[in-house]
Amino acid sequence: QVHVVESGGGLVQAGGSLRLSCAASGNIFSINTMDWYRQAPGKQREFVAIITSGGITNYADSVKGRFIISRDNAKNTTYLQMNSLKPEDTAVYYCKTMATTLQGRYLGVWGQGTLVTVSS
C-alpha cells in the first residue's frame, strides 16, 4: 500500500503565508507526479498545482505567482508554499501522488486533506 499524509494547514490572516507538506510512504518504487488540489465549502475539488519527478511545475491561474510547489524526491515529499493568502483560498487542501509500487502497479493515492482557513 501507498500512504499519503498532508500537514501544515491552519488559520492565517489575509496576506499571510503557510507551507503545506505532503509525504508519501509505503510500498513505493517510484513517484511520478505529486499534485495539490483544494475543495472549498460547497464547491467542487479543483486543481492547484502539480510537480513532476523532474521538477516541472504547473499552477492554476488563481494561485499563479502566489503559490510555489516544490519536491524532495529523497523524502517522497512535496511542499506547497502559499503566500499572499486570500480568504478565497480557504479550503481543504489535498495531495495526490501518482506512484509505482514495488509490484509494478501504478496508483493514484489521495491524502486525507488539511484545512486552510484565511481570515479577512
Per-residue pLDDT of the chain (120 residues; tens, 9 = 90+): 999 999 999 999 999 999 999 999 999 999 999 999 999 999 999 999 999 999 999 999 999 999 999 999 999 999 999 999 999 999 999 999 999 999 999 999 999 999 999 999
Cα–Cα distance measured from residue 71 to residue 23, given in angstroms and rounded to the nearest whole number: 10
Q: What residues contact residue 39 under an 8 Å CB cut-off, 6+ apart?
A: 45, 46, 91, 92, 94, 113
- Which residues face 71 on adjacent strands? 78
